[in-house]
């Protein structure tokens, strides 16, 4: 049987450099990278080829292909999920024994499984923030017509995003894509999410990672409440009289605040024009990300983008640039503030997402220093202090004072 690789954009070294004739569990070599991974039934390993890191999961053929196709569909729909690379089938040992196929995905950079976070010690409010991120993920998947079937913290990866978290789906094995989801399908996902989350919290408590006094039930119930609130804001019908048409703009602004753009809004007025009914039909996540990207080219997490846009606004106000062309102001801010500050970071912390997170932490640090000093502290001064005291590294490059 021949080794066969189905891949979107095949990296030749994937075919030539990896020991596909050896069961994944026995892989050794300099290409292996010991990154943290969550609990799973299948064997998962990480490998580095050139500058890319991949996750390799050994599984049965229908599962590998099913997951690969679904992850491709999710990518097309711009849903937050790991990026599929390919499926390797036809594996055999040198003595001719068949070995299970592998699904290869791109390792999601700057991400962590939730258990890893807890084992490093986390702040008390981390769990509700992880649950919040999970709610946003589930809502976005449902909007895209994706039924997950096994929503859990273990099947999710988390990235820090300016004091919050951004969640990505990592395990699509039980998923199905539909044009729209029924209420029953969504309810099924809520039930599995609640059950899984409850079990995961008991497990954290048993492992001593979570305070035993903390009651899992309100956190689990909170998941559904938050989901319902977000879902109804994103999809719900609103009725009002036509002299309250400003409510259309308010609804759009509320959705923008939640990080969504309205691509299509259905507005129906009755015959005598006295009442109106609106309902968002197509909403597109990533409102702040898109705005920041169009102004600066930076592609970062939604909440990070919101934070950077706030700093950009503050910069414009402090320098009396509010009436200037936004793209020019953004360029000045990027080259005079953001880039010089984030270039002080060690080279392995300079990916856009890492840089944005560091910038956010520096802003927090500046706030703290300013409060202590009783006056506004300069961003560069705060940055130097942050690198030395918080990251315990010498800032690499010191930019000009703001
Ligand atoms: N692309 C990736 N980037 C980062 N981590 C990954 C990636 N793919 C897998 N992992 C890690 O491997 C773990 C297991 O993956 P996954 O959940 O797909 O396995 P599974 O055996 O199908 O799980 P289950 O037991 O739920 O069926 C994940 O929790 C994650 O930590
Ligand atoms: Mg899993």
The Cα–Cα gap between 107 and 35 comes to 10
Is the CB of 37 inside a 6 Å radius of any atom of ligand 1? yes
Atom 28 of ligand 1, residue of closest alpha carbon:
38
With the most atoms of ligand 1 within 8 angstroms of its CB, the residue from 33, 44, 134 to mutate is 44
Is the CB of 201 inside a 6 Å radius of any atom of ligand 1? no
Averaged pLDDT, 380-397: 93
What ligand 1 atom has the least distance to the C-alpha of 44? 12
> What percent of the chain clears pLDDT 70, i.e. is strictly above it?
99
Structure tokens at 100: 């299970």
Q: How many angstroms is it from 44 CA to the middle of ligand 1?
A: 7
Among 170, 187, 43, 162, CA closest to 107: 170
> What percent of the chain clears pLDDT 90, i.e. is strictly above it?
86
Q: How many angstroms is it from 391 CA to the middle of ligand 2?
A: 33
Q: Are the beta carbons of 224 and 190 closer than 8 angstroms?
A: yes
Q: How many angstroms is it from 308 CA to the middle of ligand 2?
A: 33
Query: Per-residue pLDDT for 291 more than 90?
Result: yes
Neighbour tally for 147: CB within 10 Å? 19
Structure tokens at 385: 């202090």
Is the CB of 157 inside a 6 Å radius of any atom of ligand 1? yes
Strands 52-58 and 102-106: antiparallel
Is the CB of 105 inside a 6 Å radius of any atom of ligand 1? yes
The Cα–Cα gap between 139 and 145 comes to 10
Q: How many angstroms is it from 57 CA to the middle of ligand 1?
A: 8
| Residue with more model confidence, 254 or 12 | 254
The 3-class SS string of the chain reads CCCEEEECCCCHHHHHCCCCCCCHHHCCCCCECCCCCCCCCCEEEEEEECCEEEEEEECCHHHHHHHHHHHHHHHHCCCCECEEEEEEECEECCCCCEECCEEEEECCCCEECHHHHHHCCCCCCHHHHHHHHHHHHHHHHHHCCEECCCCCCCCEEEEEECCEEEEEECCCCCCEECCCCCHHHHHHHHHHHHHHHHHHHHHHHHCCCCCCCCCHHHHHHHHHHHHHHHHHHHHCCEEEEHHHCHHHHHHHHHHHHCCEEEEEEEEEECCCCCEEEEEEEEEEECHHHHHHHHHHCCCCCHHHHHHHHHHHHHHHHHCCCCCCCHHHHHHHHHHHHHHHHHCCCCHHHCCHHHHHHHHHHHHHHHHHHHHHHCCCCCHHHHHHHHHHHCCCCCCCCCCCCC
Q: How confident is the model at residue 402 (pLDDT cuts 50, 70, 90)?
A: very low
Among 332, 318, 401, 390, CA closest to 361: 390
Query: Per-residue pLDDT for 397 more than 80?
Result: no
Q: How many angstroms is it from 309 CA to the middle of ligand 1?
A: 33
**Mean pLDDT estimate for the chain:** 94
Q: Dump pLDDT digits (tens) for 261-285.
A: 999 999 999 878 789 999 999 999 9
Q: How many angstroms is it from 152 CA to the middle of ligand 1?
A: 12
| The predicted structure's pLDDT at residue 242 | 87
Q: How confident is the model at residue 400 (pLDDT cuts 50, 70, 90)?
A: very low
At 260, give phi and psi (nearest 5°): -120, 145
Query: Per-residue pLDDT for 398 more than 90?
Result: no
Q: How many angstroms is it from 111 CA to the middle of ligand 1?
A: 12
Averaged pLDDT, 63-88: 97
Is the CB of 57 inside a 6 Å radius of any atom of ligand 1? yes
What ligand 1 atom has the least distance to the C-alpha of 63? 22
| Residue with more model confidence, 115 or 192 | 192
| The predicted structure's pLDDT at residue 214 | 82
Averaged pLDDT, 141-146: 97
| The predicted structure's pLDDT at residue 126 | 87
Q: How confident is the model at residue 396 (pLDDT cuts 50, 70, 90)?
A: confident
The Cα–Cα gap between 178 and 169 comes to 17
Structure tokens at 25: 């569990």
With the most atoms of ligand 1 within 8 angstroms of its CB, the residue from 47, 170, 172, 196 to mutate is 170
In sequence order, the 6+-apart residues with CB closer than 8 A to the CB of 219 are: 127, 128, 131, 197, 201
| The predicted structure's pLDDT at residue 228 | 96
| Model pTM score | 0.93
Cα distance between the two ends of the chain: 65
With the most atoms of ligand 1 within 8 angstroms of its CB, the residue from 55, 100, 113, 167 to mutate is 55
Structure tokens at 221: 């119930």
The Cα–Cα gap between 289 and 306 comes to 7
Q: Dump pLDDT digits (tens) for 99-127.
A: 999 999 999 999 999 988 888 777 778 88
Query: Per-residue pLDDT for 51 more than 80?
Result: yes
Q: Dump pLDDT digits (tens) for 337-380.
A: 999 999 999 998 889 999 999 999 999 999 999 999 999 999 99
Q: Are the beta carbons of 143 and 77 closer than 8 angstroms?
A: no
What ligand 1 atom has the least distance to the C-alpha of 67? 18
| The predicted structure's pLDDT at residue 123 | 76
Q: Give the sign of the dihedral formed by CA 306, CA 307, CA 312, CA 315.
A: positive
Q: Dump pLDDT digits (tens) for 248-263.
A: 999 999 999 999 999 9
What ligand 1 atom has the least distance to the C-alpha of 42? 21
């Amino acid at each position: 049987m021949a080794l066969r690789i189905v891949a979107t954009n095949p990296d030749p070294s994937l075919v030539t450099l990896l020991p596909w004739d050896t069961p994944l569990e026995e892989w050794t070599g300099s290409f292996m990278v010991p990154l943290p991974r969550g609990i799973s039934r299948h064997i998962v390993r990480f490998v580095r080829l050139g500058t890319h890191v991949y996750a390799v999961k050994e599984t049965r053929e229908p599962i590998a292909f099913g997951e690969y196709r679904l992850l491709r569909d999710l990518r097309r729909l711009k849903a937050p999920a790991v990026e599929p690379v390919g499926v390797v089938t036809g594996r055999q040992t040198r003595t001719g024994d068949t070995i299970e196929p592998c699904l290869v995905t791109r390792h999601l950079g700057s991400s962590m499984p939730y258990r890893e976070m807890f084992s490093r010690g986390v702040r008390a409010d981390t769990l509700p923030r992880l649950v919040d991120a999970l709610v946003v993920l589930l809502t976005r998947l449902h909007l895209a017509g994706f039924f997950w079937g096994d929503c859990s913290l273990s099947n999710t990866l988390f990235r820090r995003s300016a004091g919050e978290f951004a969640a990505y789906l990592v395990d699509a094995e039980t998923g199905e894509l539909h044009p729209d989801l029924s209420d029953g399908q969504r309810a099924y996902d809520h039930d599995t999410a609640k059950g899984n989350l409850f079990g995961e919290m008991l497990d954290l408590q048993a492992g001593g990672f979570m305070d035993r006094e903390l009651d899992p039930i309100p956190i689990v119930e909170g998941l559904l409440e938050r989901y319902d609130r977000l879902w109804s804001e994103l999809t719900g019908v609103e009725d009002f009289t036509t002299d309250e048409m400003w409510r259309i703009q308010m609804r759009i602004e509320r959705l923008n605040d939640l990080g969504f753009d309205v691509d299509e809004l259905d507005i129906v007025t009755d015959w005598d024009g006295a009442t109106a009914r609106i309902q968002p039909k197509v909403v597109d996540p990533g409102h702040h990300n898109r705005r920041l990207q169009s102004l600066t080219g930076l592609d970062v997490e939604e909440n990070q983008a919101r934070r950077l846009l706030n700093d950009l606004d503050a910069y414009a106000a402090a320098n009396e640039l509010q009436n200037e062309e936004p793209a020019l102001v953004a360029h000045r801010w990027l080259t005079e503030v953001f880039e010089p500050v984030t270039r002080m970071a060690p080279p392995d912390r300079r990916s856009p997402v890492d840089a944005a997170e560091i910038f956010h932490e520096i802003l927090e640090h500046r706030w703290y220093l300013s409060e202590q000093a009783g006056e506004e502290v300069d961003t560069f001064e705060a940055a130097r202090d942050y690198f030395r005291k918080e990251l315990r590294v010498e800032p690499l490059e010191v930019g000009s004072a703001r």
